[in-house]
Every structure is written in structure tokens, then in C-alpha cells.
Amino acid sequence: MRRFVLFTLAVFLGLSLASFADQITLKNGDRLTGTVVKGDGKAVVLHTDAAGDVTLQFSAIQEIKTEKQLHVSLKNGKTAVGPVSTAADGKIDVTTAASGTVEAAIADVTLIRNDAEQAAYDKSLHPGFEHGWTGGANVGFSVARGNSETENLALAFNAAHTSLTDKVTLYATSIYTRNDLTTPATPGAAPAPSVIANLTTGGLRYDRNVNPRLFVFGAADFMANALQYLDLRGVYGGGFGWHAVKNGKTTLNILGGGNYTHETYSNGAPTSTTPPITYQSYGVTHRFAALTLGEELNQKLGKSTVITQNLYFYPDLEQAGQYRGTFNFGTVTKLNKRLGWQNQFGDIYVSNPPVGAKKNDVLLTTGLNFSFAH
């Protein structure tokens, strides 16, 4: 008798728990119970205790009945909130508290979210400034010994905070390379260390959406390049941008605006080694207005690789024919959730460098990428 009572209670408890679970019946007769997490017009994700998350195609589903409410977004821009059940002719019913039963064709469904997924989505649209950051840090290091003695260190950092209406971007890079066996100018002298690359850049930018396609931006960029005798260049500008392409895989922006540039160069290469030492050029400061023209591309390839490319052109408005230009192309391939492999190519061009400095600096770096999201 006691065993019968315990068995009856267990069966009753199991049936009671099942009655509070979401149920999906497939066309082949299988029945699954759990919690509907999310979905769209093609498939739905059901979380089950036994098998975890299971993705089910709507074409294979005979019947759906949920106990908890779902947020169902439709192609007409409206969202119905309530328990969901199947209706006739390939439609679903959403039992809402405000409008009663809303019937919709499955083909008109764009998104399905439970309360937890909807709360996470709403938070992602308007994250606080301390949350919602994405980006990473790149590290590349190499050492050569034997017939050559060189050290190279490349560091980079980038972070972006994106909301529904605006975006903040921060970045910094540093490349330093030294050759310890540089051939001396005087025959018979011992080799002397020589810095063959020393470049540091950094900056920030703020974008504000005017509409889904148009945005305004303001930016401040800084650069120091020892081999070009550039102590510091500050570029302060702004303008308009246009999302020529913006979808889940590709973003292509076209930029146009103006900037104020302030740059200071130190003395160029010495022309003599005995006092009084003379130089090919002397320290000079430039202040001028320039245009800001550019394009930016971000392309996802598959599930693990992202390509970034940008081209900026800054024609001087005060000296005709003088300009600067930068081109960057990079890839990051994810190895796991936090770690990836990055490759970066860059070309920096200045039409009027100091005497003794070249117009082009071409840079190629590779190394590890450490991504973060907060």
C-alpha cells in the first residue's frame, strides 16, 4: 500500500511538472518538453534537461504549446507577448494580456525570445558605459641571434562601446624594432645598436547615428614616428559618415569631413659628427586645416575570421599638392573564445616629410590576439 501511494505521488508530481513545461510535438510523433529559449521563422531552440539546447525546424513541428510567455517579433514591426500555441494553416497564436489572441503566420515571424533572452537583448541596446565593451589586444615579439641580432615588439589595443544610437572607439599601437649589429659608418669600428622602427599611434572617435544610414563623428588621433623625426602629430576633426553596407557580416562606411592638424618635427639626421654638429633639417611645427576622406570595411568570413580594412586621405587645404594618407589591412582568426591569431599590414604616406626622411612607412606585424567583452 505504501509503495502504491509513493508511486502515485511520483506520477502525479511528474505530470504536474510536465504541465508547467513547454511542449513541442514533432510530425514523426516525438514529443519534447522543456523551455523555449529563442527562435525565428525557420527554427526554434528548446532547452531540455536531458539533452540541453535542441534546435528544431518549424517544418518538422506538428504542435507547440508554451506555458511561459514569449516575445514574438513580426515582419510588420509589431511584437506580441504571451504564451504561444499552434493554430491551423501553419499559423501560431500568441495569447496576449492586452490584445487577446494574436494570430500570425510562421513565415511572418522574425524573432522569438523568452523573458531572459529579451532582457539581455534590451540591455545590449542601451548598455551603461562600464558595460558593452568589445575589442582586444595584439602582441607580437621576435628575437634573432647569430648572423643578425634584432628585437621586434609590436603591441596594439582596440576597444569599442556600441549602443543603439552611438559608438565609442579607442585604439593604440606601438612598434619598436632594434638591430644590434648595424654596420658603422667608420670602417673598423664596432657594430652599434640602431633603432630601425619606432612608431606609436593612438586615438579615439565618437559616432552618433542620425538615422539608420547616416551618422556624425568626432575624432582625435595622435602619432609619433622617430624615424621620420615626428615628435607628435595631433589631428582633431569630425564630419559625416554613411553606412553604405550594414548587415550581420559586412559593414562598409564612407567618411567625409575636415580636421585641424598640429605636428612637430625634431632635427633631422646629422650631416657631421664633429662640433659644430649640423643637421639636414631643423625642428619645425606645422599647423593647418585639411579634409578628412575615407572608407572603412569590416567583413566576417565564416565563424572564426574577421577582416578589417580602412583607407584615409587628408589633403592639406592651405598648401596645394600636400597630403597624408594611411592604409591598413588586417585579419583576426579565432583559435578559441579569448585567443586568436592576427595579421596586420599598414602603409603611412606623407608627401612633405623633413629632409632625410622617406615619405613611406610600410609595416607588417603578426602575433596573438587576446579578445575581451565586458
Same domain, 215 and 84: no
Task: Using the predicted structure, report yes or no on whether residue 9 has a pLDDT greater than 50.
Answer: no
Same domain, 171 and 196: yes
CA dihedral 343, 327, 207, 138 (to 10 degrees): 20
Same domain, 159 and 117: no
Task: Using the predicted structure, report yes or no on whether residue 197 has a pLDDT greater than 70.
Answer: yes
Question: What is the tens place of the pLDDT at every residue in 68-101?
Answer: 899 998 888 888 899 998 877 778 889 898 888 8
As beta bridge partners, residue 209 has: 215
Class of residue 120 by CB neighbours under 10 A (exposed 0-12, middle 13-18, buried 19+): exposed
Task: Using the predicted structure, report yes or no on whether residue 108 has a pLDDT greater than 90.
Answer: no
Same domain, 82 and 176: no
Task: Using the predicted structure, report yes or no on whether residue 268 has a pLDDT greater than 80.
Answer: no
Per-residue confidence (pLDDT) for residue 148, from 0 to 100:
62
Per-residue confidence (pLDDT) for residue 6, from 0 to 100:
46
Average confidence (pLDDT) over 176-204 = 71
Q: What distance, in Å, lies between the first and last C-alpha atoms of the chain?
A: 58
Where residue 305 falls (left for φ over 0; alpha for ψ -120 to 50; beta otherwise) is beta
Same domain, 174 and 219: yes
Task: Using the predicted structure, report yes or no on whether residue 185 has a pLDDT greater than 60.
Answer: no
Average confidence (pLDDT) over 123-141 = 78
Q: Which domain holds residue 78?
A: 22-125
DSSP label at 352?
S
Same domain, 224 and 367: yes
pLDDT confidence tier of residue 278, bands split at 50, 70 and 90 = low
Task: Using the predicted structure, report yes or no on whether residue 286 has a pLDDT greater than 70.
Answer: yes
Same domain, 42 and 190: no
Cβ atoms 339, 333 nearer than 8 A: no
- Asked whether residue 17 is domain-assigned, the answer is no
Separation CA 325–CA 226 (nearest Å): 18
Last residue within a domain, chosen from 79, 105, 125: 125
Per-residue confidence (pLDDT) for residue 1, from 0 to 100:
54
- Asked whether residue 294 is domain-assigned, the answer is yes
Task: Using the predicted structure, report yes or no on whether residue 181 has a pLDDT greater than 80.
Answer: no
**Opening angle at CA 99, ends 93 and 102, nearest 5:** 20
Contacts of 294 by beta carbon, 8 Å cutoff, 6+ apart: 254, 255, 310, 311, 312, 313
Question: What is the tens place of the pLDDT at every residue in 303-352?
Answer: 899 999 999 999 999 988 899 999 999 999 999 888 999 999 999 999 98
